[in-house]
């Protein structure tokens, strides 16, 4: 049912690994050339930047075509006609994406991705418009359910991880239809994600060191993070589109539920970290680390304790200390390896990460080091240096 | 066929040695499993969190702690970081060098950020930089450039470029509200200085791996400045022409060097600029939407040709 064959996916994975190993000097240029010739794929991939630009322009075209029909040609029509048109248009987008892959052998090329994204968007919009006479809860539920099903199908069919993420976001629209209790809504979302996690873990157990193992790794990481966000009441609210960053007071939730989630947000990070370490999974480990930091950062609000200005300093010292202790412990093992783990660099991907991060940080930091117009007020408003960019003369 | 089977096949064919096979096969199975990236991200996050807390604490408690204590503490931290870096640095080389220890880069970054906090404190409390703020920023940029080149640190280089942008008065938030001529000229000058400086440094072989960082920043600032000129209601023709020239150069550079991010800049910035001019007096909905369909399709066709001819093929 997957649109790309296993052998094609494995070949692409092999090419990616070969490139990485050649860059690290594990292969000679002659070896790399020979091995590359033996891993030729008929799939047409694209450079990441061209891929993003193709997504951008495909979305512009698809959006303009849809609007052209809706606004210009179907203007006097009813919502039902517009809804039927959007369903039809979603089908056209999806069929075009399928055709582009099967005929032109596109793989993460940009065009086919934008088309399936449009298909999902149009389907959800069609339901919203078609049911405009119904209650908002019904519309939200049905469009959310359609979004979940369509996104999961796209994820399964095309292997696009962000479609799975979209499905997880659509899940958030479902619980308000069943209950108005915020606690129950949080619980339902967490249960949905947990069910997904069980399914993914079961499916993943059949795959070791192949391309599907990599694909399931990202999905598992999303699900662990989703469960954590659903349970951490200081971070999440049920509706991401209107109140995601709204910090709700603990009193809004029943006390047993509130304190159970507090216990769970402390239990989850070690569980995720253990799972990541046992599975040797970078993404799950990363989620474990992020959730641990978030737990530390939200613990005081959870308990109703006041924050102190030096809390981030203590967190920084803790993070640095943990990194140094682990590094030193690993380095003291035979050949710098302990229990199969090492602190040594084995891949060139880190350098790409540093390149991208340093360029991005230059653009962002310009914001924090730029002088604001001279303030004649003598009021003391020092606030710089907290954005990673210095604050040499930031907003005071 | 999995990568493990392929490696086995290549070993049997003699393409790779048994030692290589053992090493590469181990890598595909996560044996050993490298925590290099995770530990570095942890260190970076630790430094950033520490500086955030430091800035917050100093701003909140400076009155209680006293200026002398605050300045002494910040100076001590800066000096300690720099002392660590200068005493443990590997000999300087114009080529890319590895840090002498795993924490070296982060100690340098911590020192640089702490200096920024101290400079901000000085300005706030004593207004020492009043009228001289620009010079201090330029001096800070110079110090950061020196540290970045001495210790081969790209994060400090990004701080240097940011401080240099600050000296020019550039900040992203100013663009939508302050699209004045002077401001745009500073932005153009900044991108030209950074771009030309990058080319000269690369040609002299001084840390040539920094080149892309410079060029990406210069290109983005240049395109933003030109776009802000194109968005003017009057006297935009020259800016549009300059934008088209810049897009052409960016496209040529991207294709020549196989750096497709510059192709992307040319396509997106160019499309936005030209569209804003063509659509500004258009009120007919169907004409606007038709424009997007037709021009979008044209751009798509051009980009597909570029992708098929120059882009990565599997």
Q: What are φ and ψ of residue B211, in 5° steps?
A: -55, -45
Which residues of chain B neighbour A352 with C-beta distances below 8 Å? none
Rounded to two decimals, the pTM is 0.88
Asked if B119's CB is within 8 angstroms of A392's CB, the reply is: yes
Residues in chain A: 396
Write down the pLDDT at residue B287.
Answer: 92
Per domain, the residue ranges of chain B are 38-167, 178-314
Write down the pLDDT at residue B302.
Answer: 94
- Token pair, residue B2, equals 């999995």
Of B29, B34, B311, the CB nearest to A46: B311
Write down the pLDDT at residue A239.
Answer: 47
Which residues of chain A neighbour B311 with C-beta distances below 8 Å? 46-47, 50
Best residue of A33, A393, A396 to probe chain B, by most B CBs closer than 10 Å = A393
Distance from CA of B293 to the nearest CA of A (A): 5
Best residue of B65, B115, B307 to probe chain A, by most A CBs closer than 10 Å = B307
User: DSSP letter at A250?
Assistant: G
pLDDT band with cut points at 50, 70 and 90 for residue B130: low
Per domain, the residue ranges of chain A are 44-171
What is the side-by-side order of every strand in the sheet holding A337-338?
Answer: A337-338, A341-342, B33-34
Report the DSSP beta bridge partners of residue A338.
A341
Asked if A368's CB is within 8 angstroms of B303's CB, the reply is: no
pLDDT band with cut points at 50, 70 and 90 for residue B126: confident
Q: Where are the beta strands (DSSP E) in chain B?
A: 33-34
Strands A341-342 vs A337-338: parallel, antiparallel or unpaired? antiparallel
Write down the pLDDT at residue A362.
Answer: 65
Q: How far apart are CA B5 and CA B17, in angstroms?
A: 15
The string of DSSP letters for A294-351 reads: HHHHHHHHHHTPPP-TTHHHHHHHHHHHHHHHHHHHHHTSGGGEETTEE-S---THHH
Q: How far apart are CA B120 and CA B118, in angstroms?
A: 5
- B124 has pLDDT over 70: yes
Q: How far apart are CA B161 and CA B146, in angstroms?
A: 12
Which residues of chain B neighbour A347 with C-beta distances below 8 Å? 34, 36-37
Write down the pLDDT at residue B144.
Answer: 94
Q: How far apart are CA A271 and CA A279, in angstroms?
A: 12
Which residues of chain A neighbour B23 with C-beta distances below 8 Å? 26
Return the higher-pLDDT residue of B307 and B47: B47
Write down the pLDDT at residue A348.
Answer: 67
Residues 6+ apart with CB under 8 A from B36: A342, A343, A344, A345, A346, A347, A350
Residue for token pair 């108005």: A180
- B265 has pLDDT over 50: yes
Asked if A353's CB is within 8 angstroms of B264's CB, the reply is: no
Write down the pLDDT at residue A253.
Answer: 87
Best residue of B23, B51, B132 to probe chain A, by most A CBs closer than 10 Å = B51
Least confident of A240-249, B191-200, B220-229, B286-295: A240-249
Write down the pLDDT at residue B185.
Answer: 83
Q: Which residue of chain B has the CA closest to A38?
A: B6
Which residues of chain B neighbour A380 with C-beta distances below 8 Å? 62-63, 124-125
Residue for token pair 């340098």: B108
- Quote the ipTM score: 0.87
Asked if B213's CB is within 8 angstroms of A313's CB, the reply is: no
Q: At what angle do helices B3-13 and B18-28 cross, to 10 degrees?
A: 180
Write down the pLDDT at residue B2.
Answer: 86
Asked if A388's CB is within 8 angstroms of B52's CB, the reply is: yes
Q: At what angle do helices B154-167 and B211-230 cross, to 10 degrees?
A: 30
- Mean pLDDT of successive 10-residue stretches along chain A, which has 396 residues: 91 91 89 91 89 96 93 77 93 96 93 96 94 89 96 96 96 94 94 97 89 93 96 71 46 87 96 94 95 94 90 95 94 90 79 70 57 40 38 34
B residues 53..72 contacting A (CB < 8 A): 53-63
- Token pair, residue A223, equals 């699900």
- Token pair, residue A224, equals 């662990």
A152 touches chain B (CB under 8 A): no
pLDDT tens digit string along A331-363? Answer: 999 988 998 899 988 776 666 777 777 667 666
Asked if B313's CB is within 8 angstroms of A386's CB, the reply is: no
The string of DSSP letters for A355-375 reads: HHHHHHHHHHHHHHHSPPSPP
Q: How far apart are CA B209 and CA B229, in angstroms?
A: 32
Write down the pLDDT at residue A371.
Answer: 44
Write down the pLDDT at residue A387.
Answer: 37
Write down the pLDDT at residue A374.
Answer: 41
Q: How far apart are CA A86 and CA A82, in angstroms?
A: 6
* CA-to-CA dists, residue A286 to A72, A174, A281, A322, B208, angstroms: 49, 28, 9, 14, 32
pLDDT tens digit string along B138-194? Answer: 888 999 999 999 999 988 999 999 888 888 876 554 555 555 677 788 889 999 999
> B30: closest CA among A61, A217, A363?
A217
Of B6, B162, B289, the CB nearest to A68: B289
pLDDT band with cut points at 50, 70 and 90 for residue B99: confident
Q: Is A333 left (phi over 0), alpha (psi -120 to 50) or beta?
A: beta
Return the higher-pLDDT residue of A77 and B269: B269
Asked if residues A385 and B55 have their Cβ atoms less than 8 Å apart, the reply is yes
Of B10, B43, B130, the CB nearest to A320: B43
């Amino acid at each position: 049912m997957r649109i790309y064959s296993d052998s094609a996916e494995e070949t692409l994975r092999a090419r990616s690994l070969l490139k990485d190993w050649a860059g690290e000097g594990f292969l000679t240029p002659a070896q790399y050339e020979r091995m590359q010739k033996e891993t030729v794929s008929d799939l047409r991939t694209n450079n990441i930047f061209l891929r993003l630009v193709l997504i951008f322009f495909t979305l512009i075209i698809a959006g303009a075509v849809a609007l052209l029909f809706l606004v210009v040609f179907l203007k006097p029509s009813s919502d039902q006609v517009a809804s039927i048109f959007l369903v039809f248009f979603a089908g056209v987008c999806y069929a075009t994406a399928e055709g582009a892959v099967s005929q032109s052998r596109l793989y993460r090329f940009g065009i086919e991705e934008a088309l399936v994204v449009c298909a999902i968007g149009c389907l959800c919009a069609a339901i919203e418009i078609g049911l405009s006479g119904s209650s908002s809860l019904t519309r939200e539920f049905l469009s959310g359910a359609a979004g979940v099903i369509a996104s999961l199908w796209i994820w399964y069919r095309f292997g696009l991880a962000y479609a799975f993420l979209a499905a997880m976001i659509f899940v958030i629209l479902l619980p308000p239809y069943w209950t108005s209790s915020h606690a129950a809504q949080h619980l339902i979302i967490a249960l949905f994600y947990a069910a997904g996690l069980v399914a993914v873990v079961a499916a993943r157990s059949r795959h070791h060191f192949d391309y599907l193992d990599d694909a399931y790794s990202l999905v598992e990481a999303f699900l662990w993070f989703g469960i954590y966000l659903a349970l951490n009441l200081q971070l999440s609210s049920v509706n991401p589109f209107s109140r995601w960053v709204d910090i709700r007071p603990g009193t809004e939730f029943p006390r047993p539920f509130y304190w159970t989630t507090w216990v769970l947000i402390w239990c989850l990070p070690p569980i995720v970290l253990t799972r990541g370490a046992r599975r040797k999974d970078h993404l799950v480990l990363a989620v474990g680390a992020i959730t641990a930091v978030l737990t530390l950062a939200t613990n005081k609000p959870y308990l109703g304790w006041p924050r102190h200005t030096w809390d981030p300093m203590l967190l920084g010292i803790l993070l640095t200390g943990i990194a140094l202790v682990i590094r030193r412990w690993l380095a003291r093992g035979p050949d710098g390896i302990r229990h199969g783990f090492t602190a040594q660099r084995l891949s060139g991907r880190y350098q790409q990460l540093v390149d991208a991060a340093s360029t991005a940080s230059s653009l962002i930091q310009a914001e924090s080091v730029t002088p604001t117009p001279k303030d004649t007020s003598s009021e003391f408003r020092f606030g710089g240096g907290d954005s990673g960019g210095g604050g040499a003369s930031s907003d005071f | 066929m999995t990568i493990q089977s392929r490696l086995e096949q290549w070993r049997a064919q003699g393409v790779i040695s048994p030692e290589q096979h053992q090493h590469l096969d181990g890598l595909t199975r996560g044996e050993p499993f490298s925590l290099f990236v995770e530990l570095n991200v942890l260190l970076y996050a630790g430094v950033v969190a520490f500086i955030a807390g430091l800035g917050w604490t100093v701003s909140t408690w400076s009155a209680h702690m006293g200026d002398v204590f605050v300045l002494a503490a910040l100076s001590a931290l800066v000096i300690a970081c720099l002392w660590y870096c200068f005493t443990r640095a590997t000999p300087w080389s114009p080529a890319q060098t590895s840090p002498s220890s795993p924490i070296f880069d982060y100690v340098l970054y911590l020192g640089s950020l702490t200096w920024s906090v101290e400079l901000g404190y000085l300005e706030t409390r004593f207004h020492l930089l009043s009228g001289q703020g620009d010079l201090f920023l330029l001096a800070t940029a110079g110090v950061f450039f020196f540290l970045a080149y001495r210790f081969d640190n790209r994060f400090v280089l990004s701080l240097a470029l940011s401080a240099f942008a600050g000296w020019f008065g550039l900040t992203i938030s100013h663009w939508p509200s302050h699209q004045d001529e002077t401001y745009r000229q500073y932005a153009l000058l900044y991108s030209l200085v950074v771009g030309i400086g990058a080319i000269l440094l690369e040609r002299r072989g001084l840390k040539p791996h920094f080149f892309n960082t410079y060029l990406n920043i210069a290109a983005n600032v240049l395109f933003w400045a030109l776009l802000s000129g194109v968005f003017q209601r009057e006297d935009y023709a020259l800016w549009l022409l300059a934008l088209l020239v810049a897009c052409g150069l960016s496209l040529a550079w991207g294709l020549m060097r196989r750096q497709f991010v510059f192709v992307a800049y040319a396509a997106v910035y160019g499309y936005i600029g030209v569209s804003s001019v063509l659509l500004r007096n258009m009120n007919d909905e169907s004409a606007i939407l038709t424009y997007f369909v037709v021009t979008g399709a044209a751009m798509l066709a051009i980009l597909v040709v570029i992708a098929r001819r120059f882009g990565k093929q599997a």
